[in-house]
Amino acid sequence: MADMAFRRVFLHGAGRRGADAWPHADPAGGDFVTFAEGSSVAGQAESLVRHFSGDPALVFAHSIGAVPAVLAARRLRVAGLVLVEPALYDIARGHEAIERHIAIVTEARTLSESGDLRGFWAILRPLMFGGPYDAAAWEKEQRVAERWARTNLPWGHGVRPEMLAGIRTLVVTGGWNEEYETIAKALVSGGAEHVIADGAGHRAQDAEGFAPAVHEFESTLT
């Protein structure tokens, strides 16, 4: 497919938003979505359908952004999907690494919902950011903890592998986390292509090899 024969739509994860989530992408080369604060995953999927159901689109999605992307894919004219470290936990349920992560986050959320934000952070911080909870850093980290206590969870949305049947999909992971590699394997078993950007961590879209991998993928789309 010739360059720009389709619209490029970029979806952010739970961290950076809009174009900030894709600093190496051409700012004039696509639509950089910023989901409304507090919006549900289902609401985000509906927003994608409302705004991007016209022209054929190559959809890029990072982390939890992959969840509304997959939920909306069947109702969009999707030329292809580029899923970067996709947090599609629903399609890999039962795997040890996936279930361990969900159990830890569920325990932490139970504490935050009961009003124990520090207890929540003491569990979540080591899991998501490394390093133990430090009472001396609490004042600085409290707002971050509050945001993560409200962040949408990436599971429980009914995402199923068959939602991607027939949709060309490239999965890019950083090769650092068993959960994301397990999810990638589940996607590959359904026909997706997989590239590992070793050493890239969770933001594989910033890796040196990301753009060439995407270019090669795009060149095969019809």
Specify the CATH number for the domain of residue 29.
3.40.50.1820
CB neighbours of residue 133 within 10 Å? 17
Q: Is the pLDDT of residue 121 over 90?
A: yes
In-domain check, residue 138: yes
In-domain check, residue 146: yes
* Backbone dihedral angles phi then psi of residue 116, each to the nearest 5 degrees: -95, 80
Residues 81 and 101 in one domain: no
Residues 87 and 75 in one domain: yes
Residues 134 and 160 in one domain: no
Query: Is 111 strand, coil or helix?
Result: helix
In-domain check, residue 116: yes
In-domain check, residue 2: no
Place of tokens 């992959």: 66
In-domain check, residue 178: yes
Q: Is the pLDDT of residue 1 over 50?
A: no
The pLDDT tens digits of the residues spanning 137-187 come to 999 999 999 999 999 999 999 999 999 999 999 999 999 999 999 999 999
In-domain check, residue 19: yes
Q: Is the pLDDT of residue 42 over 70?
A: yes
pTM over 0.85: yes
Residue type, 138: W
Contact (Cβ atoms closer than 8 angstroms) between residue 85 and residue 174: yes
In-domain check, residue 1: no
Residues 77 and 162 in one domain: yes
Number of domains into which the chain is organized: 2
Residues 76 and 122 in one domain: no
pLDDT recorded at residue 6: 85
Closest CA to 206 of 183, 178, 172: 172
Domain carrying residue 20: 7-92+156-219
Instruction: Tell me how far apart the alpha carbons of residues 56 and 52 are, in angstroms, rounded to a whole number.
Output: 8
